[in-house]
Amino acid sequence: MNVLVTGGAGFIGSHVAQALLDGGHHVVVLDSMDPYYDTEIKAENRSCCERTAAHRYYFVEGSITDADLVDRVFSSYGIEFVFHQAAQAGVRTSVENPHKPHEINTTGLLTLLEAAADHDVVRFVNASSSSVYGHDEYLPYDEAHPTRPRSPYGVTKLTAEHYCRVFTEIHGLPTVSLRYFTVYGPRMRPNMAISNFTSRCLSGEPPVIYGDGQQSRDFTYVDDVVSANLALLETDAADGEVMNVGSSGSITIDELAAHVVSVTGADVEPVYDDPRAADARHTHADVSKARRLIGYEPTTDIRDGVSRFVEWYADNREWYEPLVRAS
């Protein structure tokens, strides 16, 4: 199958692309190579895919907001299936500049949906976020939980979900939106808590916790996110739906920092700084809907996943750490 992965040079997108290549598919990656974080990580992501199957991997540099380019990609490569992973990420970044995430996450998404409908793709899978929930009225979040985003980023992700639903209802384009809960793993974005904690501990420095450390997160290992995406190649049971993709567990940031300290063997104690604006207090996913519709089953506990990440970090420290430290 000819599959388009937008944002396929990014963290999650490159893992999805690599798994598709492993499955024998032809993969087209459309990515703007935006320097939101160091593009050397994105270059490594591309290299991983090329090493997997260079003869079935096609990279196109450009923006999903460029309607002419998007249409040419669909036409030239005969796109049959779309995994839309491209986004301007960053809750706090979106508070400082809401226009850029709106342009990419909303206008860009709409551009892709129009092209997908015009070219009769089999299915359009949209990467959404737990940020759509915002305030936790109860935990764990199920998909019926009220959606009251606390950041412009969350607003753009919720808007994208509604556009997907509308294109399914009006144009008959099969769409699914997957609400990711804080994804982590090898080659992850360098400005995330787990990568920062690991970097500092391996360098003998204390992890920095923003807030009181009692905020909690449902961290999802990237392999589990990939499995949820690939399941949608095999079933149409979820068309028109939104689904949580999480670990179904949670951990406080204090506990996370203590585990990273333990795994790295660092002789340090966390230090605390002011909380960050617009961050959710707690996230925790109810994944029963995804389990029922696509057979999703998270396999990696946060403590096991962090241990695996620390091992990967140590093996790739020479090239990855300078990019984390610079973030």
% of the chain at pLDDT higher than 90 = 89
Give the domain ranges of the chain: 2-181+221-246+279-299
Read off the pLDDT band of 22 (50, 70, 90).
very high
Kindly tell me if the per-residue pLDDT of 326 is higher than 90.
no
pLDDT score, position 322: 86
Write down the CATH number for the domain with range 2-181+221-246+279-299: 3.40.50.720
Residue positions counted in the chain: 327
52 has pLDDT over 90: yes
Q: What is the per-residue pLDDT across 84-101, written as a single tens digit (0 to 9) for each?
A: 999 999 888 899 999 999
153 is catalytic: yes
pTM: 0.96
Segment 186-238, tens digit of pLDDT: 999 988 999 999 999 999 999 999 999 999 999 999 999 999 999 999 888 88
Q: What does the pLDDT average to over 271-283? A: 88
Kindly indicate the confidence band of residue 177, based on its pLDDT and cuts at 50, 70 and 90: very high
Average pLDDT, the chain: 95
Catalytic residue among 37, 153, 163, 221: 153
State yes or no: pLDDT of 277 exceeds 80. Answer: no
